């Protein structure tokens, strides 16, 4: 891509800037390809959610968007990121993993909670690629990645008015103590469903997520863990 000037992100050469936009567009295309591969699977609710995700990705790809170079914001769990991407590059979503690797130095990782349990601070993080708070704006969809350390037990939580899915890129997880989901799987949660995620003790897990909602819902969303 060329040398990125993070201290003055607006002072990029035209070549560097154009390459960055192209890399992000490729990521969006790979998300679309991944959801398109599973859109005919599952029940009506799963299919509707996948189609909404695909339609919003199509809209964004038809428009012009600008991504300004930002230095990646690491958190403790991001030490597992390279290993997860290497594993994912050999799995069902290998194309998405390869395209994500091109923008990995620009991802801004966060916990998302005002009150983060201490045991999760080293075991979890997420990054939003599309959404209300990202450089690629959408008012009805949030798309990004969730990264878990081995053995992470993510507490019970739910999302009001938000339909959620996870594509498992690498690792294995259990949701609500039901089944084991490995690479190529889709986890689905309709609005309001409480769910927990438990990660294999032997390996980290990287999941690509999509949230879909009516306009305005994502902007008002607050990340809150259930009290139980």
Q: How far apart are the first and last CA of the chain?
A: 48
DSSP 92-158: TTHHHHHHHHHHGGG-BEE---SS--HHHHTTEEEEEEESTTSSB--SSEEEEEEEE-TT-EEEEE-
Residue pair 176/196 in contact (Cβ under 8 Å)? The answer is yes
pTM (2 d.p.): 0.92
In degrees rounded to 5, what are phi and psi of residue 90? Answer: -105, 5
Which has more pLDDT, 41 or 130?
130
Rounded average pLDDT over 130-147: 95
Cα distance between residue 222 and residue 59, in whole Å: 26
Q: pLDDT class for 9, splitting at 50, 70, 90?
A: low
Dig out the tokens for 85 from the structure. Answer: 């991407």
Residue 7 pLDDT > 80: no
Rounded average pLDDT over 55-72: 92
């Amino acid at each position: 891509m060329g040398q990125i000037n993070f201290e003055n992100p607006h002072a990029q050469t035209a070549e560097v800037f154009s390459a960055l936009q192209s890399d992000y567009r490729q990521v969006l295309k790979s998300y679309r390809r991944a959801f398109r591969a599973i859109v005919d699977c599952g029940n009506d609710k799963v299919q509707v959610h996948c189609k909404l995700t695909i339609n919003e990705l199509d809209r964004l790809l038809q428009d012009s968007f600008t991504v300004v170079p930002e230095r990646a914001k690491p958190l403790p769990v991001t030490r597992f990121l390279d290993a997860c991407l290497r594993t994912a590059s050999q799995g069902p979503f290998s194309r998405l993993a390869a395209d994500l690797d091109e923008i990995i130095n620009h991802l801004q990782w966060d916990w998302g909670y005002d009150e983060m349990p201490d045991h999760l601070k080293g075991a979890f993080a997420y990054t939003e690629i599309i959404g209300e708070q990202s450089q690629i704006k959408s008012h009805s969809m949030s798309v990004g990645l969730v990264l878990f350390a081995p053995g992470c037990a993510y507490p019970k939580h739910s999302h009001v008015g938000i339909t959620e899915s996870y594509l498992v890129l690498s690792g294995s997880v259990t949701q609500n103590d039901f089944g084991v989901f490995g690479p190529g799987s889709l986890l689905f949660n309709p609005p309001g469903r409480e769910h927990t995620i438990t990660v294999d003790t032997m390996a980290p897990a990287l999941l690509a997520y999509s949230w879909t909602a009516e306009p305005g819902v994502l902007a008002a969303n607050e990340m809150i863990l259930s009290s139980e």
